[in-house]
Amino acid sequence: MEDEVVAINEIIDYVRKMRKECLIFKVGFEKAYDLTSWSFLDCMMMTFGFGWKWHSWIWACMFGEDLSILTHGISLN
């Protein structure tokens, strides 16, 4: 958990420094997995204009067996 906080803070600092927009999406899967309406999440992603690539990444996170994300050289797994 502590590593996640450090990585997220580094990303936020970088985004602010570069004056870019950023979206951070975090789901506590252990706690939320059984209570989440996946069809609602799918509908909201489409409503907010997430493209098919993002859609497939989120679905891979939710239903895939293994997950590793690398952003700007930082591993978030």
* Residue 32 scores a pLDDT above 60: no
| Domain boundary assignment for the chain | 2-75
CB under 8 A, 24+ apart: contacts of 67-75: 71/11, 72/11, 72/14, 74/7, 74/10, 74/11
Tokens at 70, concatenated:
């690398």
Pure H helices in 1-77: 2-18, 29-32, 38-47, 52-63
Q: What is the pLDDT of residues 65-76, one digit of tens each?
A: 666 666 676 665
Distance CA 3, CA 32 (A): 21
- What is the pLDDT, as a whole number, of residue 3? 75
pLDDT at 17: 93
> How is residue 45 written in tokens?
């992603």
Give 27's pLDDT tier (boundaries 50, 70, 90): low
pLDDT digits (tens, 9 = 90+) for 40-65: 888 888 888 888 888 888 787 777 76
